[in-house]
Amino acid sequence: MMAALVAIENALCRIGRHQVMRIQEYRIEQGQHWCLFGPNGSGKSLLANLVAGKRIESGKYVRYAEGFDVRRDLHIVSFEEQQKLWRRDNRLDISEYSEDAQDAGTLVDELIRSARGAAHHDQVLLDQLITELDIGQIANKGIRFLSSGQIRKVLIARALYAYHPKSAQLLILDDPLESIDIDSQERIRKSIEKFLHSGFSSIQLSRRQADILPGVTHLAVMNNLSIADQGNRNKVETGKAFNAVLDQHPAIPNKLPVNSIKANIDGVDRNSPLIELNRINASYGELQVLTDFSWTMEPDQHVLIEGTNGCGKSTLLSLIDGENHKAYGQDVTLFGIKRGSGETVWDIKARFGVVSNELHNKYIKGWKVLDVVVSGFFDSVGLYDDSGTQEIAVARDWLITLGISALDNHFYHEISFGQQRLVLLARAMVKQPKILVLDEPCVGLDDYHRILILGVLDKIAEQTETRLIYVSHVKDEKPRCINRRLSFEAASTGGFKVSEYPA
């Protein structure tokens, strides 16, 4: 047996007060490319963090090959890494003190270069990665201004740029194709594939069989916070444990919770347009995102918004739901009321429910799951108002509907990323919003939970007065109720134009 690059034996890792991961044995040998495969909450991220030396237990249970330095030789691409970088850059933002009220923060080029010391800079490799991953147009842009998909490509470029053939390297990729448009997914696959044959060892975390990278040589199937099967990829893919994960199918609830608390539709004419945008413009510095954009959302519509990473989808959503100040002074009418007519941002928010990466990033530590859901009544991050028994009852009903009622007393930051996504959907629906804005709601979810969410969204469209605005990069990943489509398409003059179609 070869000397292991990483070896774990008889490991026990406690997750909060409720659960323990048990790993009897797991080894990564140099040149192997592993996939940790399993559903949400199965322990993939926990095991990856144990390997990466990010757990207190790492020092007790993890052994590395002689000369392997975790800080130098291990590189991570994950949503948690994205969140950490965003939080750090926002914390260091000095735009309010600068003369032009702008602070670009950490630039893309700087972030990629940081993977190596200045003495080891490789301009040829850097240029190659920027071209292959198509990030040249954002190389001098601050990472806080990137879309989720764009920063994911930048983190992949940083991790691959760190590669050095003279030392053993381990790359951890947590669902690297999530939040990525279809064209960029193919670019990422090809770029990573080159490095899987260049001396790297790697671990990919995957919730979906279709996302397992072609270069993966070994599989470890995770379930219930342990490894159910592991070994050669071809052998494991035909085994019981792997196929047991694929065979899980959710039961879509027949009836959604009946909210006894009055819905937020006061003063809304049920026959008038929900949203009217007339010749809207939005830009960030020299980047023009929307130009003379007009659109009307009718009361019977459920809308899909699609387009490549960074085209302006999230900007459009923020103009609509009150998050973006650039809507003021422009011709925006929501629910029959023109913006700037004396309404407050809270009046606007009261009629919207939101599930997004940005909201996901705002909840860090200290909030229990039930508190996060109840906070949806108050449009707050966390619970600052005294909630009554009615609000708590409605919140519990939604947790039951989404199959996560057992998590109500868990801390939000201790549950898996996919489970957090379900909590945010419950948070958005407790107040019966007039419009539910879903910015890539299935990001981070396994197939089981994707089917569940899409099924629940169809029930929402069928049984409530809530209308959907749904953003997705994944082909055919949308609720059946969608009947209208807004598509951001490349314009011949540069940038993007927005076209509208029947769904």
Topology match between the domains 4-246 and 275-502: yes
Distance (Å) of CA 468 to CA 274, 302, 329, 461: 11, 5, 26, 7
For residue 204, pLDDT over 60 is answered with: yes
In this predicted structure, what is the pLDDT of residue 399? 94
Asked if pLDDT for residue 229 goes beyond 90, the answer is: yes
Could you tell me which residues come within 8 angstroms of residue 105 by beta carbon, excluding any fewer than 6 positions away? Answer: 89, 92, 93, 142, 143, 144
Mind spelling out the 3-state secondary structure of 159-206? HHHCCCCCCCEEEEEECCCCCCCHHHHHHHHHHHHHHCCCCEEEEEEE
Q: From CA 341, how far away is CA 56, in angstroms rounded?
A: 55
Q: pLDDT (tens digit, 9 = 90+) per residue, 244-283?
A: 999 989 889 889 987 656 555 555 567 789 999 999 888 7
pLDDT tens by residue, 444-476:
788 888 899 999 999 999 999 999 999 987 777
Main-chain phi, psi angles of 109, to 5 degrees: -60, -40
Q: 4-246, which class in CATH? A: alpha beta
Q: Tell me the pTM.
A: 0.82
Q: Which residue has the tokens 């990829």?
A: 233
pLDDT for position 281: 84
φ and ψ of 248, to 5 deg: -80, 125
Mean pLDDT of the region 94-116: 69
3-state secondary structure of 500: strand
Q: Is 221 helix (H, G, I), strand (E, B) or coil?
A: strand
What is Dmax (Cα atoms) for the chain?
74
For residues 343 and 335, give the distance between their C-alpha atoms in angstroms, rounded to a whole number: 12
Can you give the pLDDT at residue 78?
87
Write out the two tokens for 301. Answer: 């519509």
Whether the pLDDT of residue 101 is over 50: the answer is no
Mean pLDDT of the chain: 85
With 0-12 CB in 10 A as exposed, 13-18 as middle and 19+ as buried, what is 53?
Answer: middle
Look at residues 180, 490, 495 and name the one whose alpha carbon lies nearest to residue 190: 180
Label residue 117 left, alpha or beta by phi (over 0 means left) and psi (-120 to 50 means alpha): beta
Q: Cβ of 241: how many Cβ atoms within 10 Å?
A: 18
CA dist 320 and 396 (Å) reads 29
CA atoms within 13 A of residue 252's CA, in its CB half-sphere: 12
Q: What is the pLDDT of residue 415?
A: 83
CATH of domain 275-502: 3.40.50.300
173, 188 in Cβ contact below 8 A?
no
Domain boundaries, the chain: 4-246, 275-502
Which residues neighbour 396 within 8 Å (Cβ) at sequence distance 6 or greater? Answer: 370, 405, 408
**DSSP letter, residue 101:** S
Q: What does the pLDDT look like over 299-327, one tens digit per residue?
A: 999 999 998 877 888 888 888 876 666 66
Share of the chain above pLDDT 70, in %: 88
Amino acid letter for position 475: K
Q: Report which of 407, 404, 399, 406 is spatially closest to residue 427, judged by C-alpha positions.
A: 399
Using the predicted structure, report yes or no on whether residue 424 has a pLDDT greater than 50: yes
